[in-house]
Structure formats: structure tokens, C-alpha cells
Amino acid sequence: MSAGTTAETKTENHQNGKPPGRRRLSRRHREWLAASLFVFPDTLGLLVFVGIPMVLALAMGLFNVSGFGGITFVGLANYERMLSDSLFLESLKVTVIYVVSFVVGNFVISLALALLVKQKIPFVGVLRSMFFLPYVVSLVVIGLVWKFMLLDQVGIVNRILEALGLGSHSWLGNPRFALATVVAVSIWFLMGYYMVIFLAGLQEIPQEYYDAAKVDGARSWQTFRHITWPLLKPTSFFVLIVSTISGVAGFQTFDLIYVMTTGGPANSTSLGIFYIYQQAFQFNDYGYAAAMASFLVLILLIATAAMFILTRGGRFETD
């Protein structure tokens, strides 16, 4: 290539707005770079506060760590002890009962509330605020208030039941009612949050579908079954995943149990996460607690993977 041709090429690139000798990034690469910069802070936070602690907990489960002496390598002894620990196995049973009850009850109630507040009814804004309000209050405060309301003799709940002739019950002192009571309070606390998620999903469904169904004479149930439910399945899947993780990991449940029942009576509300807390911070058996925590995370991963497979990641087939 001659010098004249090179000069002409540089002049043409300069006229087209392309700096000579500099290669511009494509639009796809620029979008990828921008997305990476936005995701980087969250990724770093997950790595520092979730990823590294999980690896350390997994490693700690192989050691005997009391917090007051040396660290002794014990291999899989903590896991063998865990599988023969009747209290831990019982806590897993309680966890399963709690998670199933909470996820199903919360799903149905929060979806029903979302369908309600989506309607054009009087004071709908006030209703939305009322349903969501418990979620913005400290969970410790929620637990204390409900604990006083459910007291055996002087609690307002039992007083109302006695006034109605239904008799009083020991809601937090009877193993038959304690877990169900915690589940009910958990649903009451979180239903507004999941209502908002469902409401966002409902508002993404085009109104034209409902107008066409109304013209065809479809009833409310038929509209829900053939329009609302199929198009809401990705949101439903998200709610199932998040509520299951919340129930197993005990992000909100731990505070309620600690304040209302402290795992009792007779360990009837001692979820796996609460039993792990007791072993770590009451009995200073950190190695054993780490082993149980790792096992609980494994169960959670298996349950989440199963939900992904069974529901195809929320991509259900429509009717």
C-alpha cells in the first residue's frame, strides 16, 4: 500500500468520525461492560459476606472448634454426630412442617390480597398500605406485641375468644398450637411484601387480554385460570423460591422464635436454624454448628434445584 493510499484512508476515517488508529468497542461490548460495572458491587458483597463465610463454615465443620481452646481436625465426626442427633433430626422435621405451611399459606393469602387490591374499589390505597405496614416494623417488636396478645389469661386474643364463647388456649405454651401460631404470625408479617410482588406481576399482564375474555363472556374463574395464572407463573415461581429460602434459612423466622417461644415448648418450634444458633452461641460448639449449617444449605440447594426442574424455572406450559 502506497503512502498516498494510507493518507487517504486516514482522512476518510477522520471524516467519518473514527479516530485514526483507534478501534471502538461494539455496542454489545459496551452494554456488557456497563452491566458488569452495575453488577460488580453486589457481586463483591455476595462474595465477601456470603461466599467466603460459606466456604469457611464448610471447612470449620471438619474441625472441633469450641472458641476457648485449640482447633482440632476431626474429619467427618461432626457430620456423623449430626446424623445421630435426635434433637437435630427433630428440628429438621419441624423445619419441613414450618416451611410447607408457611409457603403454601403465604402464597395463597398474598395472591388473594394482590387480586383484591388490584380491583377498583374504594380506599384501595389505604388497603395496600394496611397490608404492607407490618413489614416495615421491626420483627422483634412484632414478636413482642404478638407474644403479649397471645398470653394465656390476659392476652387480648383469648379474651376475644372467651367473649365469643370459644374458650381460651395456650397458643405459645402448648406444643399443639405453638408452631401453627408462629406460622400464622410469619404469614401476617410477610403477606404484604409478597402481595406487592404479586401485584407487580399482575400489572404486567396486558389489559387487552381481560377485555377480550370479557367480550367472549368468560367468567372470573375462567379468566383467572386461562389468563392470570399462566401469565403470573414466573412471578409465582419467584415467590415460591424466595419464601422457601426465607423459611429454611430463617431470615425472618429466627427473630420471631427467639422472642416468642425460644424454641419451645418441648422443642416444638425449634427450627434447624435455631438449633444451630443454640449449638454455636449457647454451647460454643462452633464446629458442630458449622457442620449442621452446611448440611442445611445442602438441603436448601437440593430443594431449590428440584423446584427449578419441576417448574422449568417458572416457564410452565400454558393450557
Residue 249 has pLDDT above 90, yes or no: no
**pLDDT band for position 318 (50/70/90)?**
very low
Predicted confidence at residue 103, as pLDDT, reads 92
d(CA 254, CA 272): 10
Helix (H) or strand (E) run with residue 71 in it: strand 71-73
> What percent of the chain is modeled with pLDDT above 90?
34
- Fold for 77-314, please state it: MetI-like fold (1.10.3720)
Distance of alpha carbon 22 from the chain centroid: 48
> What percent of the chain is modeled with pLDDT above 70?
89
At 136-188, the pLDDT tens digits run 998 899 999 999 999 887 889 989 988 888 888 889 989 999 999 999 999 99
At 43-63, the pLDDT tens digits run 898 888 888 888 888 888 999
At 76-127, the pLDDT tens digits run 999 999 999 999 999 999 999 999 999 999 999 999 999 999 988 888 888 8
Q: Is the peptide bond before 265 cis (omega within 30 degrees of 0)?
A: yes
Residue 211 has pLDDT above 80, yes or no: yes
Domain range list for the chain: 3-60, 77-314
Phi–psi pair at 191, nearest 5 degrees: -65, -35
Lowest mean pLDDT among 1-15, 71-85, 145-159, 249-263: 1-15
First to last CA, the chain: 65
Of 194, 186, 190, 184, which Cα lies nearest the Cα of 115? 194
Residues in the chain: 319
Considering the entire predicted model, what is its pTM? 0.82
Q: How much is the mean pLDDT over the chain?
A: 85
Structural contact between residues 187 and 132, judged by C-beta atoms closer than 8 angstroms: no
At 265-296, the pLDDT tens digits run 899 999 999 999 999 888 888 999 999 999 98
Q: Which residue has the cell 389469661?
A: 153
